[in-house]
């Protein structure tokens, strides 16, 4: 896709190829143009110049512009934008009824089950909670059997409880339906949990793009700074120590122990480790209560915006970890790139 949009004090210039599968996060600060880019894909910005091809089909070029209602996209708005004059079921079926029967791949029963909407179908929109509304908005978009699902910060307007309620549904969508998703967000925790691929946007331009795991640990990008800096590791397999109530996540560079988890129903085991939860030691640790201690190699050392801290990028097998330590520790241990260290991981979130 290639777009060029000019507004009074804003210009969006984007020329990018997005993978045709998995979840691609459009990530950046508020006002960087993420939502505008998503609206361009949906055809909601008719004034935009540019070209857009999706799965080899042209939706927009110099000569023609496919209007929004003819593009096979599902759009989930930040505020839901449900129809207040229709029931939950009426909202769900609004798009479904407008799709030719032979093109209806996603069926209402599957969507209501997947999104847990069974008991709500007869309710009116003002009788359901914010989290439920967003689930209806997702279901309604899915029922058009879209070729691309566009999600504009679907969790931003929700409180923490509703977010926690919705995230598992989003993950299930990801696992059970093979519809590619463009997911706009400015919350790195959401993105780390859901996305496979990432477009990092700044001031209407793409700053960087690539697989999520690579991008969030790239030392030259702002993502490695701040409290939420983290790495995502993909585990190869999961086993359990039943009498100790622990689960072991086996990775290419070692094993991580976490409190007993149930087998996730998806293929991928995804672990998020915050940089502030990783400390390093020169030698293999003495026997201690810390369970997770992995041998890694320092790839890179960069400054942190906090003057007392620096950030280590560690190589663990074929994957990367981040560790934020104090400058003082770095000096005392005389750490340099290329050194081998033992990383103690205090917190692991299996997502």
Contact set with other proteins (CB under 8 A): 42-44, 67-71, 73-75, 77, 79, 81-85, 94-95, 98-99, 124, 126, 140-141, 144
Closest to other proteins by CB, 102 vs 243, is 102
Closest to other proteins by CB, 35 vs 247, is 35
Both structure tokens of 172 = 């299930």
Which residue's structure tokens are 């780390």?
A: 192
CB of 250 within 8 A of CB of 271? Answer: no
Closest to other proteins by CB, 184 vs 274, is 184
CB of 96 to other proteins, least distance (A): 9
Helix, strand, or coil (residue 60): strand
CB of 41 to other proteins, least distance (A): 11
Segment holding 240, helix H or strand E: strand 237-241
Q: Would the CA dihedral through 109, 110, 116, 117 be positive or negative?
A: negative
Closest to other proteins by CB, 79 vs 203, is 79
In angstroms, rounded to a whole number, what is the distance separating the alpha carbons of residues 21 and 23? 7
CB contact burial 3-38 (16+ within 10 A = b; e otherwise):
bebeeeeeebebeeebeeebbbbbbbeeebbbbbbb
CB of 7 to other proteins, least distance (A): 14
Closest to other proteins by CB, 94 vs 342, is 94
CB of 105 to other proteins, least distance (A): 14
> Of 15, 18, 2, whose CA–CA distance to 149 is shortest?
18
CB of 170 within 8 A of CB of 131? Answer: no
CB of 95 to other proteins, least distance (A): 3
Closest to other proteins by CB, 77 vs 183, is 77
CB of 293 to other proteins, least distance (A): 50
């Amino acid at each position: 896709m290639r777009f060029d949009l000019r507004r009074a004090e804003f210009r969006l210039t984007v020329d990018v190829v997005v993978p045709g599968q998995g979840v691609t996060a459009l990530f950046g600060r508020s006002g960087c143009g993420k939502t505008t880019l998503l609206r361009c894909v949906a055809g909601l910005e008719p004034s935009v110049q540019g070209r857009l091809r999706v799965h080899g089909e042209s939706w927009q070029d110099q000569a023609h512009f496919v209007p929004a209602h003819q593009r096979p996209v599902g759009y989930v708005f930040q505020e839901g934008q449900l129809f207040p004059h229709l029931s939950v079921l009426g909202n769900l079926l609004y798009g479904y009824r407008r799709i030719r029967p032979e093109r209806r791949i996603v069926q209402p029963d599957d969507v209501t089950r997947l999104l847990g909407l069974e008991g709500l179908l007869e309710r009116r929109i003002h009788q359901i909670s914010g989290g439920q509304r967003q689930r209806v908005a997702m279901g309604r978009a899915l029922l058009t059997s879209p070729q691309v699902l566009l999600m504009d910060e679907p969790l931003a307007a929700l409180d923490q409880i509703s977010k926690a309620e919705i995230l598992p549904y989003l993950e299930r969508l990801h696992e059970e339906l093979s519809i590619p998703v463009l997911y706009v967000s400015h919350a790195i925790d959401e993105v780390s949990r859901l996305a496979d691929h990432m477009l990092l946007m700044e001031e209407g331009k793409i700053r960087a793009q690539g697989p999520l795991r690579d991008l969030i640990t790239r030392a030259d990008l702002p993502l490695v700074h701040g409290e939420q800096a983290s790495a995502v590791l993909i585990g190869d397999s999961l086993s359990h120590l039943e009498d100790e109530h622990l689960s072991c996540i086996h990775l290419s560079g070692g094993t991580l122990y976490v409190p007993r988890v149930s087998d996730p129903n998806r293929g991928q085991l995804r672990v998020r480790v915050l940089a502030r939860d990783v400390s390093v030691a020169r030698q293999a640790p003495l026997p201690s209560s810390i369970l997770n201690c992995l041998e890694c190699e320092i790839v890179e050392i960069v400054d942190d915006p906090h003057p007392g801290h620096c950030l280590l990028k560690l190589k663990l097998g074929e994957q990367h970890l981040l560790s934020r330590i104090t400058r003082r520790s770095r000096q005392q241990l005389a750490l340099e790139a290329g050194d081998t260290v033992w990383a103690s991981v205090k917190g692991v979130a299996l997502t």
